[in-house]
Amino acid sequence: MSNYKIAWRNLWRNKRRTLITVASVFFAIFFALIMRSLQLGTYDHMFRNAIESYTGYLQIQHEDFWDNKIVDNTFSYTPELDQAIMSLENVTGTVPRFESFALASSGALTKGVLVMGVDPEKESLLSDIRGKLVKYKLNDNNIEALKNSEIPQETKKNLEIFRGNSYSSNSSLAIDFNIPDKDSSSILEIFRKYASFRNGYIKSGEPGVLIGDKLALYLKAGIGDTIVLLGQGYHGTTAAGKYRINGIVKLPAPDLDNKIVYLPYDVCQELYDAPGMLTSLAISIRENGDKKINSMIPEIRSKLDPQLKVMGWQEMNKLMINQMDADSKSGMIMIFILYLVIAFGVFGTVLMMTAERRREFGVLVAIGMQKSKLATVVTLEMILMGILGIASGIIAALPVIFYGYSHPIRFHGEMAKMYEDYGMEAIMPFLLPDMYILWQAIVVAIIVLIALVYPLRKITKMQVVDSLKA
């Protein structure tokens, strides 16, 4: 009989012992995957928010603009520059922007804001601000109307929790209120009836603006109200303008949502007295992997004037990356502690298994089985139990990861406020399966193999007579 068959039959000769060992490996890989997926998913969400809401993957700027963001550090936007960038293979479009600071005033309230001049149509290639227009608003009147409607009691209970919230999509509303798919169409229809928000958009050449939802709350301004912008224009001129609020956007990055004002970029150029000038030209690309982006940077640079430079998303988000690296290291310490607990758990199980089988090992060697063959069989047993534990742990973790990705953990109350104070959305999504699953499996497999050293040493050093007396 082959060693594999002997090892497999030995596993199920004592099911309780096998299940205990497999369970220790199962919980090890399960919790390691959940913890790592949650950690990496949170990082990925933050990076995507920063990239898709603001910086993009690649930008062309004046060489001094990133370090000194003043209107004087702009560059001329010409058709030749646009054509040169569009001729590159991986480029799908260019997105012109004019960015500056201003004081925004509405009534008696004033706040410093980020003024972003954009192309209303081309911006959809990058941040898609049209898709972030507020569709539902849960103000006091809307909540009272919803409470008197035919929505389920469970949904009504959640209305107080989310009072004051705004939503830019059906999916985010359905996730917050935990609306089941089978009832989503009827419940969302009620929300559309009582809590829909009439929004507008901006057009090139027209003096209208979009403002962030949190900024609108601070300024107590709504659709149709007037906002006054005051700042410093090109070469020290005064920039002042009065604009109608056409729409309100809900951005996933709270810090940006709290200060953003969007204008058509030609209107913005007029405001800052800088016709034909841009502060940045964002580049929309097809493949956005780091390797591809790094290979494109020198290619784009070769087509630019000396006073211009190209920046990748990593360079533009250095502070966030450094913060995430520091957090990742602390996360790795937590993972290490988890592995340590896992290692002791697995080793304890193996220790118990070896002690229970001491007499069995002695009998087998006494009747003629070589110690090397016995060690091989025990090794195969541990490998099979490790495979069973790792495979079952991965299979059990996958549904949790997929559910956590589509239904991310959302914080409310004080916890949500703490996240927003740090400029982060109060949400923790999971990361879809990636290479981290393989690495966690390898680490747990190494722990199992290290734990195997103890029974193998016991077998090689075993005194048959002493074992038979055990």
134-175 pLDDT, tens digit per residue, is 999 998 888 998 888 888 888 888 888 888 888 888 888 887
End-to-end distance of the chain based on CA atoms, in angstroms?
Answer: 28
Residue 373 in any domain: the answer is yes
Reported as a single tens digit per residue, the pLDDT across 223-282 is 999 999 999 998 888 999 999 999 999 987 788 889 999 999 999 999 999 999 999 999
What does the pLDDT read at residue 423? 57
Domain that holds residue 389: 3-49+320-468
Reported as a single tens digit per residue, the pLDDT across 65-81 is 988 888 999 999 888 98
The more confident residue out of 175 and 283 is: 283
| 229, two tokens | 């912008």
* C-alpha to C-alpha distance for 232 and 62, rounded to whole angstroms: 18
Is 335's pLDDT higher than 90?
A: no
Distances (CA, A) of 276 to 98, 234, 242, 262, 265: 10, 12, 21, 18, 10
Is 219's pLDDT higher than 90?
A: yes
Distances (CA, A) of 220 to 169, 223, 272, 456: 23, 11, 26, 73
Residue 265 in any domain: the answer is no
Count how many Cα atoms sit within 13 Å of the Cα of residue 312 in the half-sphere of its side chain: 15
Is 7's pLDDT higher than 80?
A: no
User: Total domain count for the chain?
Assistant: 1
Bin 368: left if φ > 0, else alpha if -120 < ψ < 50, else beta.
left
The more confident residue out of 121 and 13 is: 121
Reported confidence tier of residue 325, pLDDT bands at 50, 70, 90? confident
| 56 exposure class (CB count in 10 Å sphere: 0-12, 13-18, 19+) | buried
Reported confidence tier of residue 200, pLDDT bands at 50, 70, 90? very high
Reported confidence tier of residue 128, pLDDT bands at 50, 70, 90? confident
What does the pLDDT read at residue 420? 60
Give percent of the chain with pLDDT exceeding 90.
Answer: 26
Reported as a single tens digit per residue, the pLDDT across 414-443 is 666 666 655 566 778 898 888 888 888 888
Lowest mean pLDDT among 118-127, 196-205, 280-289, 342-351: 342-351
What does the pLDDT read at residue 469? 64
The closest of 419, 335, 392, 253 to 40, measured between CA atoms, is 335
Reported as a single tens digit per residue, the pLDDT across 346-384 is 788 778 777 777 787 777 777 777 777 777 878 888 888
Residue 15 in any domain: the answer is yes
Stretch 119-142: mean pLDDT = 88
The per-residue pLDDT of the chain, averaged, comes to 85
Stretch 117-130: mean pLDDT = 87
Stretch 194-205: mean pLDDT = 91
What does the pLDDT read at residue 277? 93
| Beta strand ranges found along 56-194 (DSSP E) | 58-62, 75-76, 91-106, 109-118, 136-137, 166-167
* C-alpha to C-alpha distance for 8 and 377, rounded to whole angstroms: 9
Is 345's pLDDT higher than 90?
A: no
The closest of 2, 38, 17 to 360, measured between CA atoms, is 17
Residue 294 in any domain: the answer is no
